[in-house]
Structure 1
Amino acid sequence: MLFDMDGTLVDSEKLWDVALQELAAVYGGTLSEAARRAIIGTSMAVSMRIVHDDLGQPERDPQASADWINARILELFRDGLRWRPGALALLRAVRAAGIPTALVTSSTRPLVEVALDTLGRDSFDAVVCGDEVGAAKPHPEPYLTAAQLLGVPIERCVAIEDSPTGVASALAAGAAVLAVPAEVPLAPVDGVHQLESLTAADLELLSALLGERPA
Structure 2
Amino acid sequence: MLFDMDGTLVDSEKLWEVALHELAVAYGGALSEPARRAIVGTSMAVSMRILHDDLGQPERDPHASAAWINTRILELFRSGLRWRPGALALLQAVRAAGIPTALVTSSGRALVEVALDTLGRDSFDAVVCGDEVEAAKPHPTPYLTAARLLGVPIGRCVAIEDSPTGVASALAAGAAVLAVPTEVSVEPSAGVHQLASLTAADLELLAALLGKPPA
1:62 matched residue in structure 2? 62
| Deviating 4+ runs (over 2 angstroms) | none
1:49 matched residue in structure 2? 49
2:96 matched residue in structure 1? 96
| Partner SS, residue 193 of structure 1 | strand
| Partner SS, residue 73 of structure 1 | helix
2:132 matched residue in structure 1? 132
What is the rounded CA distance, in whole Å, between the counterparts of 2:43 and 2:79 in structure 1? 23
Confirm or deny that 1:123 pairs with 2:123. yes
Superposition pairs of residues 1-215 of structure 1, within 5 angstroms: 1-211=1-211
TM-score by length of 1: 0.98
TM-score by length of 2: 0.98
| Partner SS, residue 107 of structure 1 | coil
What is the rounded CA distance, in whole Å, between the counterparts of 1:27 and 1:182 in structure 2? 28
Q: Give unpaired runs (5+ residues) of structure 1.
A: none
Q: Give unpaired runs (5+ residues) of structure 2.
A: none
| Partner SS, residue 58 of structure 2 | coil
Q: How many residues align?
A: 212
**Deviation digits for residues 22-59 of structure 1, max 9, x if unmatched?**
00000000000000000000000000000000000000
| Partner SS, residue 168 of structure 1 | helix
**Deviation digits for residues 84-108 of structure 1, max 9, x if unmatched?**
0000000000000000000000000
How large is the Cα RMSD of the aligned pairs? 0.5
What is the rounded CA distance, in whole Å, between the counterparts of 2:40 and 2:158 in structure 1? 21
Write the letter of the residue equivalent to 1:35.
A
| Partner SS, residue 59 of structure 2 | coil
Write the letter of the residue equivalent to 2:136.
A
What is the rounded CA distance, in whole Å, between the counterparts of 2:3 and 2:208 in structure 1? 17
| Partner SS, residue 211 of structure 1 | coil
Give the C-alpha shift of residue 80 in structure 1: 0.4
What is the rounded CA distance, in whole Å, between the counterparts of 2:191 and 2:142 in structure 1? 19
Write the letter of the residue equivalent to 1:195.
L
**Deviation digits for residues 95-150 of structure 1, max 9, x if unmatched?**
00000000000000000000000000000000000000000000000000000000
What is the rounded CA distance, in whole Å, between the counterparts of 1:111 and 1:191 in structure 2? 31
| Partner SS, residue 210 of structure 2 | helix
Identity of aligned residues (%): 87
What is the rounded CA distance, in whole Å, between the counterparts of 1:191 and 1:174 in structure 2? 9
What is the rounded CA distance, in whole Å, between the counterparts of 1:7 and 1:14 in structure 2? 9
**Deviation digits for residues 137-185 of structure 1, max 9, x if unmatched?**
0000000000000000000000000000000000000000000001111
| Partner SS, residue 177 of structure 2 | strand
What is the rounded CA distance, in whole Å, between the counterparts of 2:183 and 2:58 in structure 1? 26
| Partner SS, residue 165 of structure 1 | helix
